[in-house]
Amino acid sequence: MKTKWRIFFGAIVVVLLIYAISKINFPEVYQIARGIKPKFFLFAFVSCSLSIIIFSLRGMISLRKVVPHHDFWFFLETTLAGFFVNSITPGLTASGEPIRAYFLGEKYSIPKTKVFGALLADRILHGAVSLFFVIASLLFVLTYIPVSAELKTIFQAVLFFIFLFLAIILFLNAKKTKFNFKVLLKKTGILKKIKNNKKMLYIGQTFGNFITHFKKTITDKKTLFWGMLFSFVYWILNYLSSYFLFLSLDVKVSFFLVIIVVSLGSLLREFSPSPGGAGLVEGLMIFLYAVLGVNLQAAIIVSVLSRLILYFHSLVLGGISIFHLEKSLG
């Protein structure tokens, strides 16, 4: 079934890419690209670099109770390694967290489940800030920007499912139901079987380790405050990177418009079947920029350059980081 879905979405990616390529006015793209202003391109590149540094610092804050020492450069390398995995795997951007947990666990001789639990909690906090920007973007478009009836319906549907998801979470939290997993295992006789099976006992203890440190991280007030603040800065830097790319092409766009498009692109990235959302995310961003009145050729250049800048950090620097980490810890 999964293979069928991948083929289906893969076909959509190919169709979108063919459609996008057919709409490219290569002479116009060449003329616009020729006029790139190095200063603003550098600003875009540096903004992306700073966002990854901020992402790494946020991880250090979230893991301060799990990891005893704070080696910034090591944390930065593990962050780049995680970005590398994110860029070559489909789906959630948290797919890079296991490799970060592995390297951090190896470096500091800490159970990797402890590290992974804290990292996953950190990513959920990061996701909450991302969701804030997505909701704000959708509300802004629906309220102030005239779009076609079809696109408006799609945006409303996305907003509805987001609010439904949040409502379910709030409802479950309000119930404050304490589910004692250990009691259930004891009553069903499974706990006894686990204790008599070394492999099952190890899995149970590992899972317990993960849950304990996940809860500790996500309920810590200092982690919540600084984690969300750093996530906010991270996203602003990402928006600035795309905004500077438009300025490098001498194309004036609203910074709020960039926030809208990049935010919705990041949402699609989480569900994309293509590695790192490649193709689908760019297709959506180009489409949204064009719908919102941005020059199509400029939108294509910015979307492609954004991906290339990200790939330099995630694939090139991330690949080098993985090689160095394996060598230093091996």
Q: What is the pLDDT of residue 295?
A: 87
Backbone φ and ψ for 326, nearest 5 degrees, come out as -65, -40
Considering the entire predicted model, what is its pTM? 0.82
Indicate whether 176 pLDDT > 60.
Answer: no
Q: What is the pLDDT of residues 238-258, one digit of tens each?
A: 999 999 999 999 998 999 999
Q: What is the pLDDT of residue 190?
A: 54
Indicate whether 194 pLDDT > 80.
Answer: no
Separation between Cα atoms, residue 95 and residue 90, nearest integer Å:
8
Q: What is the pLDDT of residues 94-115, one digit of tens each?
A: 678 888 988 988 888 888 877 8
Q: What is the pLDDT of residue 120?
A: 80
What are the tokens at 263? 């935010």
Cα 289 to Cα 152, 230, 253, distances in angstroms? 15, 27, 10
Indicate whether 199 pLDDT > 90.
Answer: no
Q: What is the pLDDT of residue 255?
A: 94
Exposure string of 25-38, with b = 16+ CB inside 10 Å and e = fewer, is eeeebeebbeeeee
Closest listed residue to residue 78, CA positions, set 28, 132, 116, 33 = 116
Average pLDDT of the residues in 179-189: 51
Q: Which residue has the higher pLDDT, 226 or 170?
A: 226
Contact 237, 136 (CB under 8 A): no
Q: What is the pLDDT of residue 202?
A: 46
Q: What is the pLDDT of residues 297-317, one digit of tens each?
A: 899 889 999 999 999 999 999
Indicate whether 201 pLDDT > 50.
Answer: no
Q: What is the pLDDT of residues 55-101, one digit of tens each?
A: 999 888 888 777 777 788 999 999 999 999 988 887 666 678 888 98
Q: What is the pLDDT of residues 130-160, one digit of tens each?
A: 889 999 998 988 888 887 888 888 888 888 9
Q: What is the pLDDT of residue 177?
A: 47
Q: Which residue has the higher pLDDT, 264 or 269?
A: 264
Poorest-pLDDT segment among 28-37, 135-144, 235-244, 280-289: 28-37
Closest listed residue to residue 271, CA positions, set 283, 285, 281 = 281
Cα 297 to Cα 16, 167, 243, distances in angstroms? 16, 40, 15
